[in-house]
Amino acid sequence: MTPPYSGQVQPIVVIGGGFAGLSTALGISRLHPRPAVVLIEPRDRFVFVPLLYELMSGELKGWEVAPDYASLLEGRGISHLRDRVSSVDLDSSTITTASGQALHYSQLVMATGARPDDFGIPGVREHALHFHTLTDLQPLQERLQELRRHPSGSSSLVIAGAGATGVELACKVVDLLNGAASVQLIELGDQILPRSKAFNREQAEKALHKRGVTIHLNTKVESVSETSVMLSGQQGTRELHHDGLVWTAGSRPTLPDLSPSMELHRGRVPVTAALRLSAYPNVLALGDIAVDPEGDELTSWPHSAQAAIQQGQFAARELQAKLRHEDSKSFIFKDLGEMLSLGIGDATITGLGLTLAGPLAFKLRRLTYLTRLPGLSLGLRAAGAWLVSP
């Protein structure tokens, strides 16, 4: 067995086992010699959220989309602490967990992701459904079932936010509702999918149009009640009835308490080119919580699974460089393209050297995500299931 790095007295601690944190931990587990690493993640399952739509529709099974950490980390020398980090003392390099444990780290990777942001809009917290994690699925599925049980020409499901999640969800729920209710999509900006590739936006517009989704552009949600949503736009304010409102209109980072507190940039943790905190170089921040303070919304890396995975892989190399007393490198995001799910059996892809829409794009999207699923043996099992499915 190769001995650990000389002088590594405290472990590397990774907070959050999502795309960025899990990629970091798996990357570290492949290093020789392998440094001691602790992954702190309260959940027992990793959730491959880009496939949440297919889980909701029953096109994929839970084990394909949400493998458990025990099997993902088996034999990789990673200690999984099932706990939530409540605070990080940056000066003493100590973290404290919700269960009261204190841990010292040599290097820290913060990758705690984001959660939906209601921007303080009245009623969203109390009345909106979400589509962000595994636990959001059941309430949404129950609402769809309820609407299907009592089909009515006047029932309406409203989705706030026409970014990728809102658009993909709208297509999927229309297919699942099968005419039981109409679907309305509300967007503050003047177009859907503002950050998407033109081809994908066009395909998404066609898919929404084909499914009869009503799109309200330049429209702001002012407040939400149990049965209605107050909207404002160029024509003033108006009230729209709803039988379910799904909030996909924004997210903000989920951060433990940091001491000393730090100034956020555009609501996220500013990092150096090496994804480190400038005042605490033994701390990296990755994924949805991090932001490049030099870039803007359009020029810096996106907040996506793709960027989070690349950052996790970069972080593992960066941690190794630090242990070897080598210089830091700069993270460069490589855009591998964009894939959108557009209803049952349908998708659009721009990237991988092609632009493609329809059932073939749907199959290719599933296969591509499969190769990105962490844990090869599990991936191969999933491949088998997908390849034989009709």
Mask for 219-258, x = binds ligand FAD (CB under 6 A): -----------------------------------x-x--
Strands (E), 204-312: 214-216, 220-224, 228-233, 236-241, 245-247, 251-253, 257-259, 269-270, 283-285, 290-291
37 neighbors 77 (Cβ within 8 angstroms): yes
CB of 286 to ligand FAD, least distance (A): 6
Given candidates 131, 301, 314, 362, which one binds ligand FAD under the rule CB under 6 A? 131
For residues 179 and 360, which CB has a smaller minimum distance to ligand FAD in the complex? Answer: 360
Identified binder of ligand FAD from the candidate list 171, 174, 305, 316, rule CB under 6 A? 305
Binding string, residues 40-59; x marks residues near ligand FAD by CB under 6 A: xxxx-----xx-x-------
3-state secondary structure at position 292: coil
- Per rule CB under 6 A, is residue 303 in the interface with ligand FAD? yes
Task: Please report whether residue 193 would count as binding ligand FAD according to CB under 6 A.
Answer: no
Rounded to 10 deg, the angle between the 19-29 and 305-323 helix axes is: 40
Q: Taking phi first (over 0 means left), then psi (-120 to 50 degrees means alpha), and beta for anything else, what does residue 65 get?
A: alpha
Regarding 16 and contact with ligand FAD (CB under 6 A), the answer is yes
Minimum distance of ligand FAD from residue 65's CB (angstroms): 11
Sheet holding 283-285, edge to edge: 78-81, 37-40, 12-15, 107-110, 283-285
Q: At what angle do helices 359-372 and 376-388 cross, to 10 degrees?
A: 160
Q: Does 66 sit near ligand FAD (CB under 6 A)? A: no
Smallest gap from Cβ 188 to ligand FAD, in A, equals: 18
Q: Which of 266, 374, 263, 347 is nearest to 53 (CA)?
A: 347
Q: Which residues of 71-96 are buried (b: 16+ CB within 10 A; e: fewer)?
A: ebbeebebebbebbbeebebeebbbb
The residue (of 276 and 303) whose beta carbon lies closer to ligand FAD is 303
- Judged by CB under 6 A, how many residues of this single chain contact ligand FAD? 31
Minimum distance of ligand FAD from residue 76's CB (angstroms): 17
Rounded to whole angstroms, the Cα distance separating 207 from 185 reads 13
Q: What is the DSSP letter of 170?
A: H
| Cβ closest to ligand FAD, residue 256 vs residue 343 | 256
Part in contact with ligand FAD (CB under 6 A); list of ranges 28-36, 39-47, 217-225, 326-334: 39-47
| CB-CB contact of 266 with 231 (8 Å) | no
| Separation of alpha carbons 310 and 16, rounded Å | 16
3-state class of 150 per DSSP? coil
**Among residues 173 and 231, whose Cβ is nearest to ligand FAD?**
173
Is residue 112 a contact point for ligand FAD (CB under 6 A)? Answer: yes
Q: Does residue number 67 form part of the binding site for ligand FAD (CB under 6 A)?
A: no
Q: Residue numbers of the site for ligand FAD (CB under 6 A)? A: 15-21, 40-43, 49-50, 52, 84-85, 111-113, 131-132, 165, 254, 256, 287-288, 303-306, 308
